[in-house]
Structure formats: structure tokens, C-alpha cells
Amino acid sequence: MTTSVQIKQEILEAILKNAASLHPREMMLLLRGKTKKDQITITDLIVPPFATHGKGFASFQPHMLPMDFSIVGMVHSHPSGIAKPSLQDLHHSFGRIIMIVAYPYQSDQNVSVFDRSGEKLVLKVT
């Protein structure tokens, strides 16, 4: 069974707003949530410590994070508009899922979720 990811509309909107406000810089947030078998539910957004906006994804240092097993993954924006993870994204992933919000950050149509191997997951907005 493939993993499906659930997110509330209001959290999704917060992500899209955040991405739009930082555009053309890249934004990055941690996703906190609950995992139940193949179902991941995103419950909160966390601003990662030491995140430097605008310097790209590679500047993120996962080892600087506090140990928190409720972190299910990360979301970052692709100002390029391409909603696919780069190799660098997959290598720097943290948690189980990689969420990408692509320009123009309008709706869930601009949001994609992947697992750490780059497999696309189903996103359900509730």
C-alpha cells in the first residue's frame, strides 16, 4: 500500500502563503504530524532553527535539529515552478516525506509530496 498524506486546508494555506511571501527566495518548514501505518497526518508547521532563507535548500543542517520524532518531514518551495524533488532534495531529506510547493503557490495543484526515494505520494486535503 502506498503512503497517503493528509493535511488540513488551513495548514496548506499557511504553507502556500509563506512560500508566496518569500518568493523568489526559497522557504522551508518542518512538518509535524502523526503516523499511523501508511497514513501520515500533518498537524503543525515548525520553523526550523538556523534556517537561512534565500540561501537554498543545501544550507539546511539536519544535525542542528532537536530530536523530535513527531517531525514527519519537510516542506520547501520551488520558485522555479517545478514540483519535483531534486537529487539534492532527496539527499538532504529529513523525516519520511518531502513536500514541495511550486510557484505560483495558488492551491493544492501546486503542492506535491514524495517519500525519501522520490516516489510521489497521495495528498488529501481535509
Residues that bind Zn ion (CB under 5 A): 57, 89
Q: Which is nearer to Zn ion, 57 or 60 (CB)?
A: 57
Nearer to Zn ion, 39 or 90 (CB): 90
Q: Quote the least distance from Cβ 118 to Zn ion, whole Å.
A: 12
> What's the rounded Cα separation, in Å, for the pair 101 and 103?
7
- Separation CA 112–CA 118 (nearest Å): 11
Nearest to 28 by CA among 109, 99, 106: 99
The three cell numbers locating residue 124? 488529501
Catalytic residue at 26?
yes
CB of 29 to Zn ion, least distance (A): 13
Closest distance of CB 77 from Zn ion, Å: 8
Using CB atoms, what's the residue nearest to Zn ion?
89
Q: Burial letters for 37-70: b for 16+ Cβ neighbours within 10 Å, e otherwise?
A: eeebbbeeeeebeebeeeeebeebeeeebeeeee
| Identity of the residue, 41 or 118, whose beta carbon is nearer to Zn ion in the bound complex | 118
Q: Which of the residues are catalytic?
A: 26
